[in-house]
């Protein structure tokens, strides 16, 4: 079974995207575009532009950082704004997203073409809120798509009963399959305390009682970013100690771009020490093309040593392949996001394969006719682990 552990569907982002307050939605969206590592350009001649004309990111995770720039989703996967009399833009999504949406039908068509059996829908406020939309996607393709619930993190403390009710409804009535938690959004609403503090306890008790996996997206909320990121990882370790029976997935993986070198990734020991690697319920996603595809070409041999290290330190039975589709198509095709692992992580395959130079890989790489032909460790990473976590029978 090939199971994409990280996918998205979302409605037309030129509308309200499930928000009751469009202005609030646009604040989330504008900050996300400003902070994203994709380059900005001037529309007139495609000359480089400055994202700081959209927001002053030196102010940290604050809506106060946003500038009045006539920011708008413009279609074809790009966002536009005005700066010094010029229209600027950022191509944050693939240009094939003509109407700024990605439907369940579009996702399944990509899955069929790439040979992916299942996908899990993740959540983030700038791609819309509302569990009903995700539930509808799942219900249209119940054998192909599962979906995560999302409860706005900033509502959990001030509106605890409402937050608990939303979670119960998402899991019980809408039949979603886990919870997405994105603590970086708390700071937008002036909530700077750790998300395992007492005010969150009733919500976390409810989540633990539901017996669902929790997917954490951690990226650091304050400057210096590295120190903040370490603290988020340590908070996760404390949280897992408090809820030892909950299965946890750290989405996206580690903050890969933070650890880039000229020819690979150099992850400091204090980062690995902060991650709850020794907890058997901890799982780590491996999303490399979405973060590094702009820097390194397919098949990205630069990440291979990191994958080998993670297999040694964590184990193939707790690593998860994912893509971030449709955003990953900015760099690689969907099929390539699978094949760069399936065909090129040969250290997870037969042990008598020769060590291949990059130029040799194409003609010498193993061919797998189906997921049933994959070596055991690779099969776990590409789908078996997700099937186990999400309660899917690997047929």
- Region 323-345 average pLDDT: 96
Alpha-carbon span 114 to 88, nearest angstrom: 34
Helix, strand or coil for residue 55? strand
pLDDT digits over 225-256, tens only?
899 999 999 999 999 999 999 999 999 999 99
* Residue 147 near residue 135, CB atoms below 8 Å: yes
All structural domains of the chain: 3-10+101-389 (3.20.20.140), 22-90 (no CATH)
Q: How confident is the model at residue 349 (pLDDT cuts 50, 70, 90)?
A: low
Res 366: pLDDT: 40
For 324, left (φ over 0), alpha (ψ -120 to 50), or beta?
left
Q: How confident is the model at residue 393 (pLDDT cuts 50, 70, 90)?
A: confident
* Residue 387 near residue 320, CB atoms below 8 Å: no
- Region 270-280 average pLDDT: 96
Other C-beta atoms within 10 Å of 84: how many? Answer: 9
Range in 26-35, 56-65, 189-198, 367-376 with the lowest mean pLDDT: 367-376
pTM (predicted TM-score): 0.93
Element (H, E) at 229: helix 225-242
The dihedral of CA 167, 170, 175, 177: what is its sign?
A: negative
Q: What Rg do the C-alpha atoms of the chain give, in angstroms?
A: 21
- Region 269-286 average pLDDT: 96
Res 42: pLDDT: 98
Alpha-carbon span 187 to 192, nearest angstrom: 6
Asked if the model's pLDDT at residue 354 lies above 60, the reply is no
Asked if the model's pLDDT at residue 330 lies above 60, the reply is yes
* Residue 320 near residue 283, CB atoms below 8 Å: yes
Asked if the model's pLDDT at residue 343 lies above 90, the reply is yes
| Mean model confidence pLDDT for the chain | 92
Q: How far are the Cα atoms of 16, 24, 153 from residue 70, in angstroms, in the given order?
A: 17, 15, 27
Alpha-carbon span 242 to 93, nearest angstrom: 38
pLDDT digits over 43-93, tens only?
999 999 999 999 999 888 899 999 999 999 999 999 999 999 999 999 999
Q: How confident is the model at residue 350 (pLDDT cuts 50, 70, 90)?
A: very low
- Region 293-303 average pLDDT: 96
Asked if the model's pLDDT at residue 323 lies above 50, the reply is yes
């Amino acid at each position: 079974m090939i199971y994409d552990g990280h996918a998205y569907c979302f409605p037309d982002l030129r509308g309200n995207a499930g928000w009751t307050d469009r202005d609030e939605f646009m604040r989330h969206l504008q900050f996300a575009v400003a902070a994203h590592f994709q380059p900005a350009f001037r529309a007139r001649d495609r000359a480089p532009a400055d994202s700081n004309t959209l927001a002053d990111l030196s102010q940290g995770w604050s809506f106060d950082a946003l500038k009045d720039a006539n920011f708008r989703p413009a279609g074809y996967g790009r966002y536009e704004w005005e700066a010094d009399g010029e229209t600027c833009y950022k191509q944050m999504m693939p240009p094939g997203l003509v109407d700024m949406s990605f439907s369940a039908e579009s996702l399944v068509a990509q899955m069929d073409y790439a040979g992916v059996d299942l996908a899990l829908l993740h959540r983030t406020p700038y791609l819309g809120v509302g569990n009903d939309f995700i539930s509808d996607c799942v219900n249209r393709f119940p054998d192909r798509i599962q979906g995560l619930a999302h409860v706005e993190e900033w509502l959990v403390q001030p509106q605890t009963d409402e937050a608990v009710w939303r979670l119960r409804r998402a899991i019980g009535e809408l039949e979603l399959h886990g919870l997405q938690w994105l603590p970086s959004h708390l700071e937008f609403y002036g909530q700077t305390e750790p998300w395992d503090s007492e005010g969150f306890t009733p919500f976390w008790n409810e989540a633990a009682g539901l017996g669902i996996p929790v997917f954490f997206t951690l990226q650091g909320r304050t400057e210096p970013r590295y120190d903040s990121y370490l603290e988020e990882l340590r908070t996760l370790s404390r949280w897992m100690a408090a809820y030892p029976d909950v299965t946890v997935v750290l989405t996206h993986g580690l903050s890969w771009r933070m650890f880039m070198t000229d020819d690979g990734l150099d992850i400091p020991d204090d980062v690995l020490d902060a991650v709850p690697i020794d907890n058997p319920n901890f799982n780590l996603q491996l999303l490399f093309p979405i973060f590094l595809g702009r820097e390194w070409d397919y098949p990205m041999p630069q990440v291979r040593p990191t994958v080998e290290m993670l297999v040694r330190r964590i184990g193939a039975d707790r690593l998860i392949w994912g893509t971030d589709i449709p955003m990953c198509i900015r760099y690689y095709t969907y099929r390539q996001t699978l094949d760069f692992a399936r065909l090129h992580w040969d250290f997870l395959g037969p042990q008598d394969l020769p060590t291949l130079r990059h130029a040799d890989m194409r003609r010498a790489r193993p061919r797998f006719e189906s997921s049933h032909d994959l070596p055991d460790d690779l099969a776990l990473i590409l789908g078996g682990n997700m099937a186990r976590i999400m309660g899917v029978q690997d047929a």
